[in-house]
Structures are given as C-alpha cells and as structure tokens.
Amino acid sequence: MRGPQPGHGRSERPRRPALSLGEARVDDDFAFALLSYASLSSRQMPRFARSLIGRMPGAERQRLTRLLIQVLAQHETRTGEQHPACRPTLPRTATRLGLYGSNLVLMTVMLAGRCSAAQLFPDSGDPVGSWHRHCPLWRSATQESQWTDFALTLNVRYSWDDAGRSLEISPRTDAVVAPQPLDMNWLFRYPQGHGGFGWSRSYWDEIWHKTSVSAGTNDSTVRHAMDPVFRWLGPAVTTFTPREGAPASSLALGPAAR
C-alpha cells in the first residue's frame, strides 16, 4: 500500500485554527463541523465555558466577540460542507444551522458579558425583530428540554437607546426569577413613556388560533390558562392604555366584551 504523496495526504495539509480570517469571510468550516450537532447550553458546558473565559485577557475576549458576531452574520448563507467525515449523526441541514447559530450566540454573550440585539445583528434595520425571528429557528433545532436549557442560560432586558427600543442579552448567573414586566410602548415601537391615546389591534382571535397550531406542551399549557380570557375578553387582549392608573381595557370595552 502506497503512503500519502507529498501535497496530497492528510499529514501534509497545513493546520489551521477553527476560526481564521479569509480574504472575503471568516473561515469557520471546522467550527461549524464541531458546533452544529449539540447545544452548548446543555449539562455543565456553560459553567465550564465561564471558567475558561474568566482566564482570558480582556482584549482577547473582545477580539473573539467581534469575530463570532461576524461569523453569526455570514453562517446563514452557508451552502457547502467542507468536513463531511465529521458527522456523528445525520441531522437536517436546518437543524445544524439552528444549533450552530444558537451556539454562536451563546458563546458571544458569554465572551462579551452582555450585548445588545443591535450588536448581535449589526446589519439589521430591526435588531429586536431579528432576535425574535431567530429564536424559533434555534428552538426548532432542539428538543424542548434543550431549548429550555438554552433559554435558562440567558437573561434579557428591554430598554431604549438613541436608536429606539433595545434588547440586552446577558448570561444568567443567578436563580430564575419572574421576567421583567412588559412595556407595551416598547413592544409596539412607541416612544418611551408614550402617554397618548390608547390603541388596539383586531387580530386577537388570530393570536388565539396560532397558539393551537404548534401543539407544543409549553405553549398549549399557556393557552389552557388563557382560553377563558380569549373567549370572554378577546378584544381586551390587544387593547392597550399607555397611561398609568387608567382603567383596565376590559372595563373600557364595556359590557359587550363580557
């Protein structure tokens, strides 16, 4: 049997890091092969990662954060597979893209300590919307227990900045507590502290219907609790009064809504 010829055998190939800068884009082929089969949020991986990151110099953490954000932006247009031998399983392509993207986000947030949706999606005209649209992809790539692990690894905080509404993502290091109360001005893109007229949306019945389509355990549990509200106070679900101390929208709708 002939041994590998110079320039053709595996032993002759130059080694390269998992992430390296190419002429037009970051070469992340090896990183994709390693990080697109399992979520890093499961088991003890976040604790192990925090221990490693804690020993890194600040400048190195910042460099890696910028690099991962660049990879996150480019990986969605991936069309090839450069390491077909590195396949412990054969998941769907969408599953691998979702797992890889969620792992990139998790590593970026842990390296940065905290970052905004605008930093994660710098090319987006609506970074908060981009975060919202990516979450279903990441969720669909995992089992529900793995999605729970991912969600419990992070904290989110709603706020405003000079560009409008902002979403800050940070690693969760303490006990799970009640989420930050929603400000409907933030949710519907009104200015911070908006105190003008109330507003309503007519698609409350569509929201109710959509909760039944996915048939997931968690979503259906929330729907079970909300069914009486939708049935008897449906229009109140999408009616909002931005002024503190104003009557509940269910009262404002009058007896016809009850």
DSSP letter string over 95-133? HHHHHHHHHHHHHHHHHHSSEEHHHHSTT-S-HHHHHHH
What gap in Å lies between CA 203 and CA 252, rounded to an integer? 18
| Last residue within a domain, chosen from 134, 151, 181 | 181
Same domain, 34 and 153: yes
Instruction: Indicate if the pLDDT at residue 257 is higher than 50.
Output: no
The amino acid at residue 212 is S
Residue 236: what pLDDT? 86
* Angle of CA points 203, 124, 32, to nearest 5°: 110
Q: What is the mean pLDDT of residues 119-133?
A: 95
Q: pLDDT tens digits, residue range 146-176?
A: 999 999 999 999 999 988 899 999 999 889 9
| Last residue within a domain, chosen from 125, 150, 181 | 181
Q: Is residue 6 part of a domain?
A: no
Same domain, 42 and 111: yes
What gap in Å lies between CA 171 and CA 70, rounded to an integer? 20
Percentage of the residues of the chain whose pLDDT score is greater than 90: 37
Same domain, 174 and 241: no
Q: Domain range holding 218?
A: 195-258
Contact 175, 200 (CB under 8 A): no
Q: Mind spelling out the 3-state secondary structure of 80-96?
A: CCCCCCCCCCCCCHHHH
- Which SS3 state, helix, strand or coil, does residue 223 take? helix
The amino acid at residue 146 is Q
Neighbours of 15 (CB within 10 A): 4
Q: pLDDT tens digits, residue range 41-96?
A: 987 888 888 888 989 999 999 999 999 999 999 887 776 666 565 665 666 678 88
Q: Of 168, 148, 144, nearest to 156 (Cα)?
A: 168
Q: Is residue 187 part of a domain?
A: no
Q: Is residue 199 part of a domain?
A: yes
Same domain, 212 and 111: no
